[in-house]
Chains A and B, each alone.
Chain A
Amino acid sequence: MKFAVQVLEAPYNNQASDTAYNFIKAALERGHTIVRIFFYHNGVINATKLAEPPQDDRNIYKRWTELGKEKGIDIVACIAASKRRGIKDGHIVEGTRISGLGQLADMMVEADRLITFG
């Protein structure tokens, strides 16, 4: 099955990013496809590379690099939502990109299921 994933909340502040990651890992292990991951609302903060979480905790930002760079999943932070919150090209984690809301509309149409976290 083709899944599109939307994350609406910031990492650490809310469990949405963790649950999205766990869902995506499980879906991939079962042979499903992730069409795209889209960050919206405060979810765009998932894409910042300026964060330095404590080393004895999970690094949520690196998880997106793992999925984006190593697994080849398209990960997009909404440009309008990003600009509002200080997320810009050059400051985003490897394996993610900034683009428009059209990417959200596009993945909703393309996927069999849209799953929203947050």
Chain B
Amino acid sequence: MSDEMEGGENRKKIMFIMRKAPHGSIYSYEGLETVLITAAYEQDMTMAFVGDGVFALLKGQDTSSIGIKGFIKTYGALEDYDVNKIYVDRQSMEERGLTLDDFAIPVEVKQAEEIAALMEEQHATIPY
């Protein structure tokens, strides 16, 4: 990693948009991997969970019956990586009958318009 990559003036706003359910496809899992790696580059990172993506944050996930390694615990490590801006789209949450109490980590619920406005501020948005 070069010096200029380590934050400072080159610190860029990057938003990861998590759109898929955690299981059934690998998008959510591999998406989270990119979040963790990018965090090592000390960028100004945001995660937005929209659509079925909100299911990725459910607490009490048990993947033993589908024979897939779960990764909900990895979300608990985001704080250690200084990834603190974690937003859930309100409509996506409510359409799926979920409330803040259902999530395994602290998140902030935002209106779609607020998330859209945040997207406008980003240097890059990366959809998974």
Known: A101-B33, A108-B14. A41 touches B38 (CB 8 A): no
Is B27's CB under 8 angstroms from A109's CB?
no
Cβ proximity bits A37-63 to B, threshold 8 Å, 1 near / 0 not: 000110000000000000000000000
Instruction: Return chain A residues, CB-CB under 8 Å to B40.
Output: 102, 105
Instruction: Return chain A residues, CB-CB under 8 Å to B5.
Output: 106, 109
Cβ proximity bits B3-36 to A, threshold 8 Å, 1 near / 0 not: 0010000101010000000000011001001100
Is A109's CB under 8 angstroms from B37's CB?
no
Task: State whether the Cβ of A87 lies closer than 8 Å to any Cβ in chain B.
Answer: no
Is B124's CB under 8 angstroms from A41's CB?
no
Q: How large is the interface on B (under 10, 10 to 19, 20 to 34, 35 or more residues)?
A: 20 to 34
Chain A residue at minimal CB-CB distance from B125: A114
Instruction: Return chain B residues, CB-CB under 8 Å to A4.
Output: 124
Is A109's CB under 8 angstroms from B12's CB?
yes
Chain A residue at minimal CB-CB distance from B11: A109
> Known pairs A108-B123, A109-B12, A109-B41. 9 more at Cβ < 8 A?
A40-B34, A102-B37, A104-B34, A104-B37, A105-B43, A106-B5, A109-B123, A114-B125, A116-B126
6 contacts between A and B (CB under 8 A): A6-B126, A102-B1, A106-B5, A106-B41, A109-B10, A109-B12
